[in-house]
Amino acid sequence: MIRIGSIVFDCTDFERTARFWAAALHYMPREPPTTGWVVLTDPLGKGPNVSVNLDPEATPRQNLLHLDLYSDDPEAEVQRLLALGATLHRAREEGEDFTVLADPGGNLFCVVDVR
């Protein structure tokens, strides 16, 4: 058997990136963060773990892997995530069901309309 244990985001700003993903997903640290590492978990136990890893040599680049966050109120979620520190990478275009944002470390992710 194999399964995803955690989705890991490397970053240069650990505190800001960890706070962002915890608030964005409503996750909690599994245990107190160590220097530059934390595993965030779904308090309901349904979602995958998301880990944040300090990598001082990380550089912003296009992701080879990204998250799609599904929402039945994507406009409100985009605004909430922007207020938490995300930035708009590419606005939703006509005929699309997603908006592309970047987390504080420059990692891209999408907010997808599932209505």
Residue 100 pairs with which residues in a beta bridge? 90, 110
> What count of other Cβ atoms lies within 10 Å of the Cβ of residue 82?
13
CATH topology of domain 66-115: 2,3-Dihydroxybiphenyl 1,2-Dioxygenase; domain 1 (3.10.180)
Q: Which residue spans of the chain are classified as CATH 3.10.180.10?
A: 66-115
pLDDT at 72: 93
Contact between residue 80 and residue 70 where contact means Cβ atoms under 8 Å apart: no
Q: Which residue spans of the chain are classified as CATH 3.30.720.120?
A: 1-57
CATH tag, 1-57: 3.30.720.120
pTM of the entire predicted model: 0.80
pLDDT at 93: 92
Helix (H/G/I), strand (E/B), else coil: 77:
helix
Could you list the mean pLDDT of each consecutive 10-residue stretch along the chain, which spans 115 residues? 79 93 97 94 95 83 76 95 96 93 90 91
